[in-house]
Amino acid sequence: MKTNRNIRLHINEKLSSGTVIKVMEKVSHYLCNVMRCQTGEVFRCFNAVDGEFFCRIAAIEKKSVSLEIMELNRRPQAESDVWLLFAPLKKDKTDFVIEKATELGVNKIIPVITRYTNADKIKTERFAAQAVEAAEQCGRLSVPEVAAPVSLEKLLSDWDEKRILFFMDERRQGNDAASVFKDFAGCPAAVLVGPEGGFSEGEAETLNTKAFVKNLNLGPRILRAETAAAAALAVWQACAGDWSRQEGQK
């Protein structure tokens, strides 16, 4: 079966072999006008609940496309229960964070407003669309949830203490991230990264008073906020997440 490897679509509807679903304007525009697909074209579609399937374009209409769902390609699979909490940055840098967080397996992204947060309007709908696109590109089956922005104060007051919150301290006063992450493999976790100006003294002090917060550092160099987010998630996955479990299964 010849498959277009350049197309992989996230579809929220139920996916099941032998069924036909209709995708509407936004997706049909992408398939017909951007990718120039024709009737009979085969590609992959997916979601976290049903897995990844091959599908075929059965019919093209003016504002919709009918897709025939064919055989299952990949079954649903468990992923690490890790969130990213980050202070929104300037547009391009925030785009980078959303993309890399999705590629690195987070299942929830929460924009956090801190004292030194320096960003334009926070558009969570755009963040969510970027997360979908990154999931389609990187091969994962799920798309991370993008939550509404929240202040650091409210975030901490509402926090579920069963989820460990790893606070990336740009002053490098915490413990080494890699060694600590290993102790929490399999646990619900969240990584908190501050803005370009770092956390204020008051914010850092408040974080360090919480029993569910672990103060960590990422090494001897000062990292940009977007670099710190990607680095922290990569270390988490290597030490306690999907990658560590795969290594243990070899």
Query: How far does Cα 186 stand from its chain's mean position?
Result: 18
Q: What is the C-alpha to C-alpha distance for residues 48 and 78, in angstroms, rounded to an integer?
A: 9
Specify the pLDDT at position 132. Answer: 97
Contacts of range 237-242, beta carbons closer than 8 Å, 24 or more positions apart: 237/80, 237/82, 237/104, 237/105, 238/178, 239/178, 239/181, 239/182, 239/185, 240/80, 240/181, 240/182, 240/184, 240/185, 240/186, 240/187, 240/189, 241/80, 241/82, 241/105, 241/185, 242/79, 242/80, 242/105
The confidence score (pLDDT) of residue 27 equals 93
Enumerate residue ranges in the chain where pLDDT < 70.
120, 172-173, 243-250
Q: Please say whether the dihedral angle defined by the alpha carbons of residues 226, 227, 228 and 232, taken in this order, is positive or negative.
A: positive
pLDDT score recorded for residue 243: 66
- pLDDT tens digits for 11-43? 999 999 999 999 998 899 999 999 999 999 999
pLDDT of residue 173: 67
Predicted local distance difference test score (pLDDT) of residue 156 = 97
- Given a contact cutoff of 8 angstroms between Cβ atoms, the answer to whether 196 and 89 are in contact is yes
Joined together, the tokens standing for residue 76 give: 């649903």
Distance CA 109, CA 99 (A): 11
Please report which helix (H) or strand (E) contains residue 145, including its range.
strand 145-146
How high is the pLDDT of residue 78?
A: 84
**In whole angstroms, what is the distance from residue 179 CA to residue 172 CA?**
14
Please check whether residue 48 is in contact with residue 12, taking contact to mean a CB–CB distance below 8 angstroms: no
pTM (two decimals): 0.91
From residue 61, alpha-carbon distances to 10, 14, 30, 70 in Å are: 20, 21, 13, 20
- Answer for the pair 57, 66: CB distance below 8 angstroms, yes or no: yes
Q: What pLDDT is stored for residue 244 in this prediction?
A: 57
